[in-house]
Amino acid sequence: MADEITFDDFLKVDIRVGRVMRAEPYPEVRKPAIKMWIDFGPEIGEKKTSAQVTAHYTPEALIGRQVMAVVNFPPRQIGRFMSEVLVLGLSDGQGEIVLLRPDQDVPVGERMH
């Protein structure tokens, strides 16, 4: 079982929906990844990230897709790229990541609750 947290702890994690506006391969890192620029609406704006999702996605297939991401982690250097948000996903059983997204289109920037 995972460590217990309080509801107040959970509320500190800001998870929002964004739309991938641009994506490109990122082969220079140890495990191939895709760089993404994600629009989170007027309050947060566009943020960039990289994710190891090349088994299930191409950069072209990600453009226009809505994704869920934690938007209030501090930026993190990934190789030569500064990742500003953490996109969320689940393992497909073989260790490859499938991205989380709403099952219907929702306004970008909407906070998960």
Residue 108 within any structural domain of the chain: no
Letter for the amino acid at 57? Y
Q: Over the stretch 18-77, which tens digit does the pLDDT of each residue have?
A: 999 999 999 888 889 999 999 999 999 999 999 999 999 999 999 999 999 999 999 999
Provide the residue range defining the domain that includes 38: 15-99
Looking at residue 29, which CATH number applies to its domain? Answer: 2.40.50.140
Residue 106 within any structural domain of the chain: no
CA distance 105 to 19: 10
Give the global pTM.
Answer: 0.93
Write down the pLDDT at residue 29. 85
Residue 61 within any structural domain of the chain: yes
Chain centroid offset of residue 61 CA: 15
Which backbone phi and psi does 40 adopt, to 5 degrees? -110, 20
Q: How many domains does the chain have?
A: 1
82-103 b/e (C-beta count within 10 Å ≥ 16 → b): ebbbbbbbeeeeeeebebbbee
